[in-house]
Amino acid sequence: MIETRKLTKRYGHLIAANEITLDLKEGDVFGFIGPNGSGKTTTMKMLATLLSPDYGEAYVCGKSIYTDPQEIRRLVGYMPDFFGVYDDMTVIEYLEFFASAYRIDGPVRRKVCEEKLELVEMSYKRDAMVNQLSRGQTQRIGLARVLLHEPQVLLLDEPASGLDPRVRIEIRNLLKRLGELKKTIIVSSHILPELADVCTRVGIIEKGVMIVDDYVDAVMRKARQTILLHIRVNSEPGADANDRAAKLLSQSDLVSKVDIVKGTLHVALKPQVLDYSALPTLLVQNGFKLSLFREEEVNLETAFMELTKGLVQ
């Protein structure tokens, strides 16, 4: 659905996008992560045919951005991070205006607009003035607008930017529903934990260079240098279970370090150790009862911090 090869954009000596290579399939929800100025918006604008690259190639639904820009625009829904709305128009009039631009005519137009309003849960605002909507409501109307012509590809630039936590959750749930419709989606955001819940794949871009492009689970594995276990133990009354368990675990060839934090053992395994099944057995055989034994989860935010250096243009 989206394929790029060494896609590059320069502004003088500044390389905004440096040989970006992507290969996204139908139904992929691709989380585009990076600081401001890293090249996310530039890349998305090139895919939307709103910006011409200096070098490289890109295909959207098999169409070249050089030879088929009009066809691509019929297949893509692009929502920038900030967009204007027209005064003196109601929500339904606003959507019908854009539907007519997509040549959706007659009674079908109103039906399509009503369906998209329902999809983004904004039917109750159909007769409200668009310039009186909140930021979150405006974002949802923007999503409805880019869905009017049933695009196969969605390019969503910071759709949750500047929203309060409740509205961000609503936008996240909406993105999940769009993913279930088998649309190919690129969504950029700084709200890293929420992207992990929505996306199937993640790309991390820094100073115009794509430094990570993989499925979410694989990105987590790349970020994990060592496994950290959280363990709680019980033993005979009066015995200092945590100290004895920590000493026992420290003697294992699998363990590099043990700390006791608020009654929980934090056990760091040695690098490259993936199989720690012997540790609960070791504890049980030495008279300990386990009330907690789990591996600390690496979230997307942790992965981002581990894999990037904080470079900007």
The pLDDT score that the predictor gives to residue 87 is 78
Q: What is residue 234's predicted lDDT score, i.e. its pLDDT? A: 81
pLDDT digits (tens, 9 = 90+) for 104-157: 988 899 999 999 999 888 999 999 999 888 888 888 899 899 999 999 999 999
CA distances from 285 to 249, 288, 297 (A): 12, 7, 27
Do both 98 and 10 map to the same domain?
A: yes
- Give the model's pLDDT for residue 305: 58
Residue 309 lies in a domain: no
**192 pLDDT exceeds 50?**
yes
Mean pLDDT score of the chain: 86
* Contacts (Cβ under 8 Å, ≥6 apart) of 111: none
pLDDT at 99: 94
139 shares a domain with 248? no
Q: Considering 171, 205, 220, which residue would you say is the last residue of a domain?
A: 220
Of 39-43, 80-84, 96-100, 288-292, the range with the lowest mean pLDDT is 80-84
Q: Look at the chain and report how many structural domains it folds into.
A: 2
Kindly state whether residues 66 and 95 are assigned to the same domain.
Answer: yes
116 plus 230 within the same structural domain = no
Mean pLDDT confidence for 17-40: 89
Identify the top-confidence range among 42-46, 155-159, 227-231, 258-262. Answer: 42-46
| Whether the predicted pLDDT of 193 surpasses 50 | yes
User: Length of the chain in residues, anyone?
Assistant: 313
Structural domain boundaries, residue 242:
225-297
pLDDT mean over 27-32 = 90
pLDDT digits 0-9 by tens, 201-245: 888 888 899 988 888 777 766 666 678 899 999 865 445 888 999
pLDDT at position 238 is 47
The reply to whether 216 and 246 lie within a common domain is no
State yes or no: pLDDT of 312 exceeds 50: no
pLDDT for the residue numbered 311: 45
**CATH number of the domain to which 145 belongs:** 3.40.50.300
Q: Which pTM value belongs to this model? A: 0.74
| Residue 84 pLDDT grade (very low, low, confident, very high; cuts 50, 70, 90) | confident
Domain termination residue (choose one: 180, 200, 220): 220
